[in-house]
Amino acid sequence: MEKIIKVGLGIMIKDGNKILLGHRSKNKKDTGGIHEPDTWTIPGGKQEYNETVLEGAVREVKEETNLDVSDLEIFSVSDDIASDRHFVTIHIIANKYDGELKVMEPTKEDEWKWFDLNNLPDNLYSPTKHFIDKYLNAKNINNK
């Protein structure tokens, strides 16, 4: 096993108090990330060589959802470590989007759906849960 740290990108696309989540297919092969089938995840993937973090975010969202995102901000960074993988994941917020939402990679996600931040599914992909928890905690701190 090659022991290298990879850069992951997680993009929270916001629409008011809703965010876009994709359902990770139950019976599909591991897609190269932390393997947790039958969970809900934000769009994202790995940064490619010779692209900026934000260019990677735009590309990943387009590849997975067909949406064009803009007004991007880097929110936080986390270590996502599994027994056989280590990702440094950069959490990015997309405040604007345009286009027609589609399932572009049916071998990875079988559905995209908008969820209210106050009514999220229980089975969140662990890196997505880390991001959402940090976001909600920061939002609560700023609202006090």
Taking alpha carbons only, the member of 107, 96, 104 closest to residue 28 is 107
- 1 lies in a domain? no
- 41 lies in a domain? yes
pTM of the model: 0.91
Q: What token pair was written down for 39?
A: 């969970």
- Tens of pLDDT, residues 23-49: 998 876 655 555 788 999 999 999 999
Nearest-angstrom CA–CA distance, 72 and 70: 5
Taken as a whole, the chain contains a residue count of 144
Domain extent at residue 20: 6-142
Q: What's the total number of domains in the chain?
A: 1
Measured CA to CA in angstroms, residue 79 lies from 9, 17, 47, 89, 128 at distances of 12, 26, 15, 6, 12
| pLDDT exceeds 70 at position 104 | yes
- Tens of pLDDT, residues 59-75: 999 999 999 999 999 99
Query: Across the strands, what pairs with 82?
Result: 85
